[in-house]
Structure 1
Amino acid sequence: MIIDFKILIELRHWLHAHPEVSRQEVETGRYMRRFLSDHAAPDEIVSLAGAGFAAVYEGRAAGKTVMLRAELDALPIHEINEDLPYRSLQDGVGHKCGHDGHMAILAGVAQGLADRPAEGRVVLLFQPDEETGTGAWSCCTHPDFEKIRPDVAFALHNLPGFPKGAVVCKTGTFASAVKYAAFRFTGKEAHSAQPETGASPSFAMAELTLAAREIQARYDGPDAYALIVPVYTGMGVQSSGVCPAKGEVHFTLRAAEGRTVERMWTDLLGEAEKRANAYGLALETETKEEFAANANSQVSFDMIRMAAAEAGADFIEIDRPFRWGEDFGEITQRYEGGMFGLGAGEHQPDLHNPDYDFPDTLLEPGIKMFSNLIQLALRQEARF
Structure 2
Amino acid sequence: MKIDLDRLIRLRHWLHAHPEVSRQEFETAKHMRQFLAEHAAPDEFVSLGGAGFAAVYNGLEPGNTVMIRAELDALPIHEINEDIFYRSLLDGVGHKCGHDGHMTILAGLAQTLADRPENGRVVLLFQPDEETGTGARNCYLHANFKQIEPDFAFALHNLPGFPKGAVICKVGTFASAVKYIAVKLTGKEAHSAQPETGASPSFAMAELTLKAREIQAKHDRPEAYALIVPVYNEMGVQASGVCPGYGEVHFTLRAEHGDVVESMWKDLSEAARTIADEYGLAIEFETKEEFAANSNSRLAFDMIKAAAADTNLSFQPIAFPFRWGEDFGEITSRYEGAMFGLGAGETQPDLHNPDYDFPDDLLVSGIAMFETLVKLALSGETYEPGISHETT
TM-score using structure 1 length: 0.99
Paired with 2:260 and 2:74, the residues of 1 have a C-alpha distance of 29
Q: Which residue of 2 aligns with 1:373?
A: 373
In the alignment, is residue 34 of structure 1 matched against residue 34 of structure 2? yes
SS in 2 for 1:262: helix
Q: In the alignment, what sits opposite 2:248?
A: 248
SS at match of 1:323: coil
SS at match of 1:322: coil
Q: How does 1:279-290 map to 2 (within 5 A)?
A: 279-290=279-290
Q: CA deviation at 1:49?
A: 1.8
Compute the displacement of 1:64 (Å): 0.4
Deviation at 1:104, TM superposition (A): 0.3
Q: Deviations over 1:247-305 (max 9, x none)?
A: 00000000000000000000000010001100000001100000000000100000000
Query: Any stretches of 5+ residues in structure 1 without a counterpart?
Result: none
Partner of 1:5: 5
Large movers: runs of 4+ above 6 Å: none
Residue 380 (structure 1) shift? 3.0
Structure 1 residue 336 corresponds to structure 2 residue 336: yes
Post-superposition Cα deviations, 1:72-125, rounded to whole Å, max 9, x if no partner, equal 000000000011100000110000000000000000000000111100000000
Distance 1:72 1:294 in 2: 19
Query: What does residue 348 of structure 2 align with?
Result: 348
The aligned residue for residue 148 of structure 1 is 148
| Match in the other structure for 1:358 | 358
Q: Give the structure 2 partner of residue 108 of structure 1.
A: 108
- Partners in 2 of 1:234 and 1:347 — Cα distance? 37
Aligned to 1:166: 166
1:124, 1:192 → 2: CA distance? 59
Number of the residue aligned with 1:304: 304
Matched residue SS, 1:136 = helix
Letter in structure 2 aligned against 1:227: L
> In terms of mean alpha carbon deviation, does 184-193 or 207-216 score higher?
184-193
Query: RMSD in angstroms over aligned alpha carbons?
Result: 0.7
Counterpart in the other structure of 2:185? 185
Match of 2:223, as an amino acid? D
Residues of 2 paired with 1:154 and 1:193: CA distance?
Answer: 61
Q: How many equivalent residue pairs?
A: 383
Structure 2 match to 1:227: 227
* Letter of the 1:63 counterpart: G
Q: Distance in 2 between matches of 1:97 and 1:130?
A: 11
Question: Is structure 2 residue 92 aligned with structure 1 residue 130?
Answer: no
* Corresponding residue of 2:21: 21
SS of 2:240's partner is: coil
Q: Deviations over 1:213-237 (max 9, x none)?
A: 0000001011100000000001011
- The amino acid of 1:100's aligned partner reads D
In the TM superposition, 1:59-98 aligns within 5 A as: 59-98=59-98
Please state whether the residue corresponding to 2:63 is helix, strand or coil: coil
- Give me the whole-angstrom Cα distance separating, in 2, the residues matched to 1:242 and 1:382: 69
**Which letter does structure 2 place at the counterpart of 1:252?**
T
Question: Given the two structures, how large is their TM-score scaled by the length of structure 2?
Answer: 0.97
2:390 maps to none
Q: Write the letter of the residue equivalent to 1:200.
A: S
Identity of aligned residues (%): 74
In 2, Cα distance between the equivalents of 1:26 and 1:378? 32
Counterpart code for 2:69: R
| Aligned AA (2:99) | H
Cα distance between partner residues in 2 of 1:56 and 1:288: 32
Q: 3-state DSSP class of the match of 1:173?
A: strand
Q: Which amino acid aligns with 1:294?
A: N
Corresponding position of 1:315: 315
Which amino acid letter does the alignment assign opposite residue 146 of structure 1?
K
CA drift at 1:381: 3.1
Measured after TM superposition, the shift of residue 382 of structure 1 is 5.0
Structure-2 residue corresponding to 1:209: 209
Task: Tell me the secondary structure at the aligned position of residue 57 of structure 2.
Answer: strand
CA distance in structure 2 between the partners assigned to 1:7 and 1:53 by the alignment: 22
Rounded Cα–Cα distance in structure 2 between residues aligned with 1:94 and 1:215:
35
Corresponding position of 2:389: none
Letter in 2 for 1:185: L
After superposition, residues 265-280 of structure 1 pair within 5 angstroms as 265-280=265-280
